[in-house]
Structure 1
Amino acid sequence: MIILGIETSCDETAASLVSEGTKILSSVISSQIGVHHPYGGVVPELASRKHIEAIDYVVNDAINQSGISLNRIDAVAVTQGPGLVGSLLVGFCFAKGFAYALDLPWIGINHLEGHINSVFLTDTPPPFPFVALLVSGGHTSIYHVKSHTESVLMGQTRDDAAGEAFDKVSKMLGLGYPGGVIIDRLAKQGNCQSIRFPRSYLDKSAFDFSFSGIKTSVNRYIQTHGDIYKEQVPDIVASFQEAVVDVLTYKIINAAKKKECRHIALVGGVAANSRLRARLMQDASAEGFHVHIPPHIPPMDLCGDNAAMIAATGYHYLIKGITSDINQDVYSRSINS
């Protein structure tokens, strides 16, 4: 079964063809980073317009690169939410029209389920059940994953997502957008022990997160140290990053212990962060856990938003006979997201 996946939840227009839910035949991603960079974050109206401009070209490019003819496509999977409504509508309406024109079944996919299923596009996917830490610009959550289509939320952020905190700290320091990539690179030049920013564990036995406090602490440090902070930027971002990584790593390992799962998945855009990847693998290995992380090697980057994960998730719904109705709509937020 060959699935065409389409993803337009935020600022990437993506399309992919995936066979049997595991083999990527093509993956095309058109990024809008250059468009949003001057504003220090995603501008929803601009994102929607750029999706409209790119969607036809991206889908056609993915089909052409796959070498698959239209009559060999069995179904269409498309991100239904959560995300920016304007952006979601572009891909969702395109997918509906594409499926209707070719008389194909189609399925609306939860973007977060897509990220979780991205680990099954790797050579060593985890066995069920496992726990997953989903870390991105809009979400920071821990799930107990029972199957390709069944995940139970264990905890989530109460305020800023981890990726959002990275972007805001980067903006405070005048480093630019996207903050996660910039901070990850610059932190390698700094001392992560030089500044002791707070670790907000909330309840250490539970799995919710809060990153607004550390963001405020960084801002206060900047305001109270005058221009001297400009000479400390590598140390500031390294110390900030370490505080975030400490909390994320502790929570997901604790979740694995509670659920007695030996396998941990790290997914989402922030899963590309080199310090988080290294620390989780180190700390989890010391406790006897196995860590599964999608590759972060362009052009096959499965950490960030991509359509391969949407197609793969759609495959597992479709083999269960679950499809979407033509009257369904997108959603900006999902329950327990």
Structure 2
Amino acid sequence: MTTNKDIYILGIESSCDDTSAAVFHNDKKLSNIVATQDVHQAYGGVVPELASRAHQQHIVPVIDQALKKAKVCKKDLSAVAFTRGPGLMGSLLVGSSFAKSLSLSLNIPLIEVNHMQAHLLVHFIDEIDSVKPNFPFLGITISGGHTQIVKVKDYFDMEVIGETLDDAIGEAFDKCGKMMKLPYPAGPEIDKLSKLGDPHKFEFAKPQVKGLDFSFSGLKTSVLYFLQKRTKENQNFIEENIEDLCASFQYKVVDILMSKLNKAVKETGINEIAIGGGVSANSGIREALLDKQHRKEWIVHIPKFEYCTDNAAMIGIVGYHKFLNNQFSPLTTASKARYTIKTSL
């Protein structure tokens, strides 16, 4: 096992539409730069080809900024970590190609990182006032592409015990938001408007799925039929009730998520929870989790907003722990659009 006290890791994240680079000194973050892509707003969703082109434009300046902000030279790097998957293949290839080239030119190790593991391990970044989870804990990854409950036994010993059977939670927010004529991405808009509405004004269907798995397609269908019926009666229904619609929808999503988490805690006997992914920024979900902690039922770990969306800091911290265990990757490592936690161990 490596015992070097000065390990410098460059992390690169390019799985979807955010280009990000971070520099770590051991488990401490020195920089975390993210370049977002506004081009997708006009299309109501991420366009893969446009995303990969934007990554090509952003990756060099983003990495340059990350190194400069960290005050670290390329020659000081101990290894370069990159997102292998899951994600959009074109986007992943931009990050992996750059990481491989840098690894080869500097003659330093290459470290592949599973994007889904990284969302959970971001809690292990060493920061002031940060409290790291204790193993084992239940990890909840909630984003535009994934919804999973993971039993985390160690840094790289994870087991998915529940996941969505159809749509991810973030996808449900965006698609239902589109039905309510909200701009993309709709999640933040629904969250903002929900604070002004009555969460009990309208009732939407709660899918009945056995075990710890999720389903959000039924909820989307419920919202669709409800809006079709009401707008037929009043073409201005959505505009006149948008705050109550958002509050009622968000209330139902939080109810679905918390019901499964309650079940997972009972079945596993683990009451320490850590969430990650873009939807972990949602205020309704955060409040429901913190309420459990205030009642002293659960120990809850919620990431800073900086770490909720796709970012390279989560790649860097995983890279650091893999470096300690000499878990390096060959230059022949291929990107994987589909990459489960199980197949990455």
| Alignment TM class, shorter chain as reference | over 0.9
User: TM-score scaled to structure 1, two decimals?
Assistant: 0.95
Query: Which stretch of the first structure deviates more once superposed, 63-72 or 48-57?
Result: 63-72
In structure 2, C-alpha distance between the alignment counterparts of 1:160 and 1:230, rounded to whole Å = 26
SS at 2:30 equivalent: strand
In structure 2, C-alpha distance between the alignment counterparts of 1:284 and 1:334, rounded to whole Å = 32
The correspondence of residues 137-148 of structure 1 with structure 2, limited to 5 A, is 137-148=144-155
In structure 2, C-alpha distance between the alignment counterparts of 1:155 and 1:261, rounded to whole Å = 15
What CA RMSD, in Å, does the superposition of the two structures yield over aligned residues? 1.2
Query: How many angstroms does 1:283 deviate by?
Result: 3.0
Tell me the percent identity: 43
Aligned residue among 36, 39, 43 for 1:39: 43
SS at 1:164 equivalent: helix
Q: Does the CA-based 8 Å contact 1:132-1:252 persist in structure 2?
A: no
Partner of 1:3: 9
Partner of 1:229: 238
Query: How many angstroms does 1:287 deviate by?
Result: 5.6
Q: 1:336 to 1:14 in 2, by over 3 A?
A: closer
The correspondence of residues 22-37 of structure 1 with structure 2, limited to 5 A, is 23-32=28-37, 34-37=38-41
Partner of 1:212: 217
In structure 2, C-alpha distance between the alignment counterparts of 1:164 and 1:98, rounded to whole Å = 35
Q: What stretches of structure 1 of length at least 5 have no aligned partner?
A: none
Partner of 1:74: 78
AA of the residue aligned to 1:274: S
Aligned residue among 92, 95, 98 for 2:102: 98
In structure 1, C-alpha distance between the alignment counterparts of 2:292 and 2:340, rounded to whole Å = 31
In structure 1, C-alpha distance between the alignment counterparts of 2:341 and 2:230, rounded to whole Å = 40
Q: Does the CA-based 8 Å contact 1:6-1:79 persist in structure 2?
A: yes
Query: How many angstroms does 1:233 deviate by?
Result: 1.3
Q: Does the CA-based 8 Å contact 2:180-2:238 persist in structure 1?
A: no
Aligned residue among 254, 263, 276 for 2:272: 263
Q: Does the CA-based 8 Å contact 1:253-1:284 persist in structure 2?
A: no
Query: How many angstroms does 1:280 deviate by?
Result: 1.5
Aligned residue among 299, 302, 311 for 1:306: 311
Aligned residue among 156, 169, 176 for 2:176: 169
SS at 2:131 equivalent: coil
In structure 2, C-alpha distance between the alignment counterparts of 1:231 and 1:302, rounded to whole Å = 35
Count of paired positions? 329
In structure 2, C-alpha distance between the alignment counterparts of 1:17 and 1:106, rounded to whole Å = 15
User: TM-score scaled to structure 2, two decimals?
Assistant: 0.93
Aligned residue among 192, 195, 203 for 1:196: 203
In structure 2, C-alpha distance between the alignment counterparts of 1:330 and 1:111, rounded to whole Å = 12
Partner of 1:335: 340
SS at 1:323 equivalent: coil
AA of the residue aligned to 1:273: N
AA of the residue aligned to 2:204: F
Per-residue CA shift, 1:170-204, capped at 9, x if unaligned? 1111111111111111111111100111122412x
Q: Does the CA-based 8 Å contact 2:11-2:315 persist in structure 1?
A: yes
AA of the residue aligned to 1:171: K
Q: Does the CA-based 8 Å contact 2:136-2:153 persist in structure 1?
A: yes
SS at 2:279 equivalent: helix
AA of the residue aligned to 1:143: V
Query: How many angstroms does 1:255 deviate by?
Result: 1.3
Q: Does the CA-based 8 Å contact 1:165-1:211 persist in structure 2?
A: yes
SS at 2:176 equivalent: helix
In structure 1, C-alpha distance between the alignment counterparts of 2:271 and 2:203, rounded to whole Å = 32
AA of the residue aligned to 1:265: A
In structure 2, C-alpha distance between the alignment counterparts of 1:318 and 1:4, rounded to whole Å = 12
Q: Does the CA-based 8 Å contact 1:149-1:316 persist in structure 2?
A: no
Per-residue CA shift, 1:140-168, capped at 9, x if unaligned? 00000011111110010000000000010
AA of the residue aligned to 1:148: Y
Per-residue CA shift, 1:300-332, capped at 9, x if unaligned? x00110001001011111211111111111011
SS at 1:225 equivalent: helix
